[in-house]
Amino acid sequence: MSSLIRLFRTSAEAVAAALMAAMFATFILQVLVRYTARLPWVAENMPFLQPTNFGWTLEFCLAIWVWLIFWGNSFVVRVEDHVTFDVLYVSVSPRVRRIFTIVTGLAVAIALLLSVAPTWDRLAILRLKKTATLGDLFGDWIRMRDVYMIYIVFLVAVAGRYLWQVWQALRESLGGTGDTGQTGGQA
């Protein structure tokens, strides 16, 4: 099981790295086009470098950024990497910590899962809306729904992570161990 989790984590990090690379390459392309298009010999000899051909780069970077943020927070960022305000949490006994973890974990997971249906309804509306410029690059099939669909993945994945923390805290409570491990009220 540990090797499967490690493989999934490495794959998720690879996807995040590919998204960063795509965003960086697009940014470099933006800079290249912006500054070379002003040179007369470039405009004459390389008409494909006209800035009007590269309007899609800004929207592409923004879409990749949205995907990178929600993908990374769903699958790459570890519990220990989050900033937490845990003054109260660390000052109580391990038993109370587990109770904090169970209560807050259930509250967050339920809230995230309850927001899936309304979010899905909102994304259903966006299936009709085309992107402003990404159609130039990908064709007419891409819609705003596709850009924001990662948010549904985020809601389900983060809810799953919190439910896993709740499960770990319940196992510790039933097992009678005093160690809270990584189940802390942080996520």
Q: Are 73 and 10 in the same domain? A: yes
Q: From CA 88, how far away is CA 156, in angstroms rounded? A: 28
Residue 152 carries which side chain, given as an amino acid letter? I
Report the pLDDT averaged over residues 40-51: 76
Q: Are 102 and 46 in the same domain? A: no
Band (35; pLDDT cuts 50, 70, 90): confident
pLDDT of residue 97: 92
Q: Which of 62, 77, 92 is the last residue of a domain?
A: 77
Q: Are 67 and 108 in the same domain? A: no
Residue 89 reports pLDDT greater than 60: yes
pLDDT of residue 54: 85
Q: Are 53 and 87 in the same domain? A: no
Residue 37 reports pLDDT greater than 50: yes
Report the pLDDT averaged over residues 34-43: 78
3-state helix/strand/coil string of 76-95: HCCHHHCCCCCHHHHCCCHH
Q: Are 139 and 126 in the same domain? A: yes
Backbone angles phi, psi at 130, to 5 degrees: -85, 155
Q: Is residue 26 part of a domain?
A: yes
Q: Are 58 and 105 in the same domain? A: no
Q: Which of 77, 96, 130 is the last residue of a domain?
A: 77
Q: Are 64 and 97 in the same domain? A: no
Q: Are 112 and 166 in the same domain? A: yes
Q: Are 104 and 153 in the same domain? A: yes
> How many other CB atoms sit within 10 Å of the CB of residue 95?
12
The 8 Å CB, 24+ separation contacts for 12-17 are 12/71, 12/75, 12/76, 13/76, 15/71, 15/75, 16/68, 16/71, 16/72, 16/75, 16/76
Structure-derived torsion over alpha carbons of residues 116, 122, 123, 126, reported in degrees to the nearest 10: 180
**Whole-prediction pTM:** 0.82
- Give the pLDDT confidence of 116-135 residue by residue, as tens digits: 999 999 998 888 888 888 87
Q: Which of 47, 77, 107 is the last residue of a domain?
A: 77
Q: Are 66 and 108 in the same domain? A: no
* Number of domains forming the structure of the chain: 2
Q: From CA 45, how far away is CA 104, in angstroms rounded? A: 62
Host domain of residue 137: 81-176
pLDDT of residue 187: 43
Burial (0-12, 13-18, 19+ Cβ within 10 Å), 175: exposed
- Give the pLDDT confidence of 138-150 residue by residue, as tens digits: 777 788 888 899 9
Q: Is residue 183 part of a domain?
A: no
Q: Is residue 186 part of a domain?
A: no
Band (186; pLDDT cuts 50, 70, 90): very low
Q: Are 105 and 31 in the same domain? A: no
Q: Are 87 and 19 in the same domain? A: no
Residue 42 reports pLDDT greater than 80: no
- The CA-to-CA distance between both ends of the chain, in Å, stands at 22
Lowest average pLDDT, out of 42-46, 81-85, 151-155, 183-187, goes to 183-187
Reading the block at residue 117, the tokens are 């249906």
